[in-house]
Structure 1
Amino acid sequence: MSSPPAERQSRTSLSFPTDSSAVTRSATIWHPDGSVVLQARQTQYRVHWSVLSLHSSFFHGMLGLPQPPEQPSVDGCPIIELSDSDSDVENLLRALYDPLFFVQRALPLSVIASHLRLGKKYDFRGVLETNVERLTHENPTTLAGYDALKTGNSYSPTRIVNYHGLLYDTITLAGETNLLTVLPCAYYRALVGSLPVRPYNCTSCPGSGLCLVRHFRWHTARRRHGRDPLSNHQRACNLGRTALLRAQWDSGNTFGWTEDQSEEIGCTDPVACRHKKYAFFRRHVVRGSLAPFCSVSYVDSLNLCAVCTQAVKAKMIAGRQRMWDLLPTFFDLPPWSELRDEL
């Protein structure tokens, strides 16, 4: 069998920890017939080489390596000390040993994060791709996918357990793991505050009242190692909000029809329809409303004549799609056609 790449070998230590007295066995993942012991920090997990090598090319390669005579062991099983957190390792092993694990409708983001980190590091390809699919399902790359997740004008996640601050942790995780296709939709949701939980309302912020600075700082304080996602993600959101606010009113975009004050062909009440279009434009510009992907059915509430209603709906359908096609570029990201996840 081929040896694992040198850069990956360097991440894994095969030496027994100095303070062995503090080491404990996992209460949940310790198989008496296991053939290898993984140690993460001070916790050991007895598992099977066959299970690890079946799912991971990294461990498949290690299986064929000769073991040094002084290799520490437990009950004849070699010990592999990992530099990862015990929670990450346990989350991964639970999934490998439970055939129904991924059948669960929704998983906690903390579990998904563990799978992404270790899936990339040790090449657990199936685990990695399954969890990437969960994130991309909730943060789609198509407008049809985005619309399908909405109930009315609201959205709640279905494949990730919702909690206070999920959206901001998702953005941070996507940035850390280079899941770039997740970011445009997640950034946009951060701007419009579409998740039902809002821990802050900042009176100094325009528009939705959703203070991105305070949100990111609050969630950063809870993250491990003190890594701060504020500068990059908040900058992207600020750029995107300004660009989206302007672009949604441009000709050919979602509300571009408000610029055209000429009567639609066959309009039955030109003066009234023109006035209602202008009133809509003025009201929402003053409010700083950001809604480039609002439902086309909203047009019905404008009470335009039947001819203008149908014409405006057609223009909005095309405009929404055009705005979605441009969405990543508003956040200084490559266009959808060039945006790639680095797995």
Structure 2
Amino acid sequence: MSSPPTERRIESLVPVTRSEIWHTDGSVILQSNCTQFRVHWSVLAMHSGFFNGMLGLPQPPDQPNVDGCPIIELCDDSEEDVACLLRALYDPLFFVQKTLPMQHIASILRLSRKYEFRGVLETVAERLTHENPTTLAAYDALKTGNSYSPTRIVNYHGLLYDTINVAGENKLLSILPCAYYRALVGSLPTDIFDGIPRSDGTLATLAPVHQRACNLGRVALLRAQWESDGTFGWTEDEPGEFGCTESTGCREKKYSFFRRHVVRGSLAPFCSVSYVDSLNLCAMCTISVKARMISGRQRMWDLLPTFFDLPAWSELKDEL
């Protein structure tokens, strides 16, 4: 009796299918699992240091091929990821799209890093760095009032968490401080640990390392925003120091603001300075409080990475 087929022989019985990405004049076959893509060595070598290095290597005589095109197996890469990267390479309008799905961005980031498609890597990473800037001015420019919606990535419930995970996996460290902060103010504290349901029924969850960072950051930010040089340090100022014309009234309004938001656990170190107008302080206090908020917001931003146990902005580099 013959022995049962080995796992390798079982796998060989699975039919191989051609992807829609099949250029009849292509010169190389990329195979992911049981899906093949026929493309051009010249295109791969032009954009990828990895494939450029392979181009001149001698091919073994027994290497499998299709219509004379050598087959390169892409181990551990999904068909979806490979197809997405190849569309980005071959479609000149791919990156012209105003918004891209995070799934496409994640796929291209993974493979362009792995196979050294540097230009593609930088182009797709820019979508994430644009949405999660490193300067306060750029952060403010993305907001409408105190709200924010992404403009270069398709929005959905769970996007913030997926952004953090993708940035961490691909060592885009400069993205993390802003993304962490947005995750804190854009979801409930329990969501950090339990996750957020996406519209397709799946759950967006943060990796444990990011859960820890967000937990540390929430505590540190809540404390720092009320310190004397923080965004709301002006709540401790005595109105009389700034030529206040309504000393008792302004003192009470400042205390009321402080008490209300401390009790609520409000986290808003980068709220708009225009919010001060709603406090109805006297003219002199309004001027002084706005000035204090401007400097406090900037200081909080300058320190933002450190609240999440990350290096300072100047040391926080992306590994592209």
TM-score normalized with structure 2 length: 0.92
Query: How many angstroms does 1:152 deviate by?
Result: 1.2
2:194 alignment counterpart: 214
* Runs of 4+ with >4 A deviation: 216-219, 221-224
Q: What is the 5 A alignment of 1:98-117?
A: 98-117=91-110
Shift of 1:20: 5.7
- 1:155 maps to 148
Alpha carbons of structure 1 residues 304 and 257: separation in structure 2 relative to 1, 3 Å: same
Q: 1:279 aligns with which of 249, 252, 256?
A: 256
**8 Å Cα contact 1:216/1:234 also seen in 2:** no
Equivalent position to 1:240, from 217, 238, 241: 217
Matches within 5 A, 1:51-66: 51-66=43-58
Is the 1:213–1:230 Cα contact (8 Å) retained in structure 2? no
* Alignment check: 8 A CA contact 1:191 1:237 kept: yes
- The answer to whether structure 1 residue 46 and structure 2 residue 23 are counterparts is no
How many pairs are equivalent?
A: 311
Q: Is the 8 A contact 1:264 1:311 kept in 2?
A: no
> Are residues 169 and 74 of structure 1, via their aligned partners in 2, closer, same or farther at CA, if it must alter by over 3 Å?
same
Equivalent residues of 1:38, 1:46 under 8 A apart = yes
| Deviation for aligned residue 1:265 | 2.8
CA displacement, residues 36-55 of structure 1 (integer Å, 9 cap, x when unaligned): 00001110000000110010
How much has 1:231 moved relative to structure 2?
Answer: 1.9
Match of 1:336 in 2: 313
Alpha-carbon separation, structure 1, partners of 2:308 and 2:217: 5
1:103-148 residue CA offsets vs partner (Å, 9 max, x unmatched): 0011011111111111111100011001111101111111111111
Match of 1:308? 285
CA apart distance, 1:179: 1.1
Spell out, residue by residue over 1:143-197, the C-alpha distance to the aligned partner (whole angstroms, 9 max, x if none).
111111111111111101111211111111111111111111111011111xxxx
Matched, 1:169 2:159: no
Name the structure 1 match of 2:229. 252
Q: Which runs of 5+ in 1 are unaligned?
A: 1-15, 199-207
> 1:17 deviation in Å?
10
CA deviation string 1:221-257 (max 9, x = no partner): 9589xxx844211111111001100100001110000
Specify the alignment match of 1:7 in structure 2. none
Structure 1 pair 91/299, CA: closer, same or farther in 2 (3 Å)? Answer: same
SS at match of 1:324: helix
8 A contact 1:264–1:308 mirrored in 2: no
Counterparts in 2 of 1:41 and 1:60: CA distance versus 1, 3 Å:
same
Letter in 1 for 2:180: Y
The 3-state SS of whatever aligns with 1:240 is: helix
Tell me what 2:4 maps to: none
Change (3 A) 1:230 1:104: same
Of 277, 299, 302 in structure 2, the residue corresponding to residue 325 of structure 1 is: 302
Cα distance in 2 for partners of 1:17, 1:74 equals: 21
Q: Secondary structure at the match of 1:337?
A: helix
Residues 234, 132 of structure 1: CA spacing in aligned structure 2 closer, same or farther, 3 A cutoff? same
Q: Percent of aligned pairs with the same residue?
A: 72
Helix, strand or coil: the match of 2:30?
strand
User: SS of 1:133's equivalent?
Assistant: helix
Aligned-pair CA distance for 1:18: 5.4
Query: What is the match of residue 180 of structure 2?
Result: 187
> What code does the residue aligned with 2:279 have?
L
Alignment correspondent of 2:29: 37
1:318 positional shift: 0.5
